[in-house]
Amino acid sequence: MSRSARLHEDGLTRCPWPGEDPFYMTYHDTEWGVPEYDDRALYEKLILDGFQAGLSWITILRKRENFRKAFDDFQPEKIARYNAKKLHALMNDVGIVRNRAKIEGTVASAKSYLKIMEDGPGFSKYLWDFVDGKPKVNQFKTTASVPASTPLSIKISKELAGRGFKFVGPTIVYAFMQATGMVNDHLVNCFCHEACTKNHRSPRLKAK
């Protein structure tokens, strides 16, 4: 696969990684790299990125609705109270990735999320403060230039792990930062690069 942005039949130039898959292209065009400020949505994306470890993202993306159904729409308040019976049911749910460590990690991370929500201004503010509240806009021309992790993702990884979050290694955290728009890693020739930059909005202006 080409490592440079590519022109598609619809006349738009995109990053190469979604290929010609309409489902993946829609995710690339409408979600990946768009700044996300919702506390719960950020928790969900962090958990799903953790489930991706060792797998391809498209595998997780295609199962996302199954994950949402299995994990009560990723409501941390509910997940934090999961008991052994619920964990057993999840381990038998063929619609998700049945990895006990990751499922148990989701519960541990929910408890850590709730602690942050109780102690301070929220999970979103906690995360976005690492980038001073605004996306870091990169200027990569090929995917070969895009790092798997950065000093900042290493720092955030250590902070999250120290608070009890699971499956938050530097590479997972960087993928999370890309997905949630904390960094804009659309290639410079991709039409989304400029669109995501313009789409930035202050979390203070977020609709309630």
Write down the domain spans for the chain. Answer: 6-18+31-205
User: 20-46, pLDDT tens digit by residue?
Assistant: 999 999 999 999 999 999 999 999 999
Q: Percentage of the chain surpassing pLDDT 70?
A: 94
User: Is 94 exposed, middle or buried, given 0-12, 13-18 or 19+ CB atoms closer than 10 A?
Assistant: exposed
Check pLDDT > 70 for residue 105. Answer: yes
28 is an annotated ligand-binding site residue = yes
Q: What is the mean pLDDT of residues 155-165?
A: 98
Check pLDDT > 70 for residue 136. Answer: yes
Per the structure block, which two tokens stand in for 177?
Answer: 């930062």
Check pLDDT > 60 for residue 201. Answer: no
15 is an annotated ligand-binding site residue = yes
**Residue 183's beta-bridge partner residues?**
136
**Predicted local confidence at residue 197, as pLDDT:** 80
Instruction: Please name which of 58, 56, 17 lies closest in space to residue 144, comparing C-alpha atoms.
Output: 17
Q: Has this prediction a pTM greater than 0.75?
A: yes
User: 41-87, pLDDT tens digit by residue?
Assistant: 999 999 999 999 989 999 999 999 999 999 999 999 999 999 999 99
Q: Which CATH number fits domain 6-18+31-205: 1.10.340.30, 1.10.287.70, 3.40.1280.10, 2.30.30.90?
A: 1.10.340.30
Instruction: Please name which of 207, 202, 190 lies closest in space to residue 32, comparing C-alpha atoms.
Output: 190
Check pLDDT > 80 for residue 202. Answer: no
**Predicted local confidence at residue 199, as pLDDT:** 65
Check pLDDT > 60 for residue 127. Answer: yes
Check pLDDT > 60 for residue 207. Answer: no
